[in-house]
Structure 1
Amino acid sequence: MLTIFSTSWCGDCKALKQALTHLNLPFQEIDIDQQPQAEQRVLTLNGGRRSVPTLVYGDKATSLSQFSIVKLKRWLGEVGLQARV
């Protein structure tokens, strides 16, 4: 399952969720403003940067700040996920 670490005010987070929904890829969302321990996880995953959205699949993670569908599809391919269209 994909996990998105996000915030409610993040435009890139909204774009990522919309893209994953369009690609029929299920995900769970964790709002780091609501869960302090999740914010710490994001900092760890991103080398000390509070970068959202951060997308996690298994032991692989990436920041998709400055979201683009090209970056998303490239990363999905790297982790072995394909859209279910």
Structure 2
Amino acid sequence: MTRAWILPVLLMLCGSAGAARLASGGAPGAAVALLVVFVLLAGVNSPLVFPRSIDALEARRRSTADGRPVVYWRPGCQYCLRLRLRLGRSARELYWVDIWRDPAGAAAVRAVNDGDETVPTVVVGGRPHTNPDPAWVRGQLSRRT
């Protein structure tokens, strides 16, 4: 759990330190702008941007039952963020597994990526796809319905 928040907290601390330095140097406008940028960066790299994660076993069980894809991801991954943002609201139709919170999810990703924890790894119909194009994933969702 705490591992997922390390990057957002570091971004907030760095932004706060930089903003304090700018403000004490007589540039309050620049301080506010810098702080806003760091708050936004922390927000998009936090677990709050992604739909609620479930564990890998539950995701596989649900995917088998209804055919929805499973996405293995981790906070701070730019490719996971790209996938999430490009999917928009349809991202909630997927099952998201945070590999930093779920050792079984991390093991599943390593098993299909030659021992590496390469994310996002999307499993559709039991077949893994590493870092697929978001448009392709969206197409898999529309094909399912």
TM-score, normalising length from structure 2?
A: 0.44
> How much has 1:61 moved relative to structure 2?
0.9
Q: Cα RMSD between the aligned structures?
A: 2.4
In structure 1, what is the Cα distance between the partners aligned to 2:76 and 2:130? 16
Structure 1 residue identity aligned to 2:69: L
Q: Structure 1 segments of 4 or more deviating over 6 A?
A: none
Per-residue CA shift, 1:18-75, capped at 9, x if unaligned?
Answer: 22235x36101110001111100000111212101111112111110xx6xxx34357
Contact 2:87-2:138 at 8 Å conserved across structures: no
Identity %: 23
Instruction: Specify the code of the residue in structure 2 equivalent to 1:27.
Output: L
Counterpart in 2 of 1:73? 135
Extract unaligned runs of 5+ from structure 2.
Answer: 1-67
Q: Name the structure 2 match of 1:3.
A: 70
Structure 1 partner of 2:113: 46
Q: 1:10–1:36: structure 2 CA closer, same or farther, 3 Å change rule?
A: same
More helix by share: 2
Greater Rg by CA:
2
Contiguous gaps of at least 5 residues in structure 1: none
TM-score, normalised via structure 1 length: 0.71
Aligned length: 75
Establish whether residue 30 from structure 1 lines up as the match of residue 62 from structure 2.
Answer: no
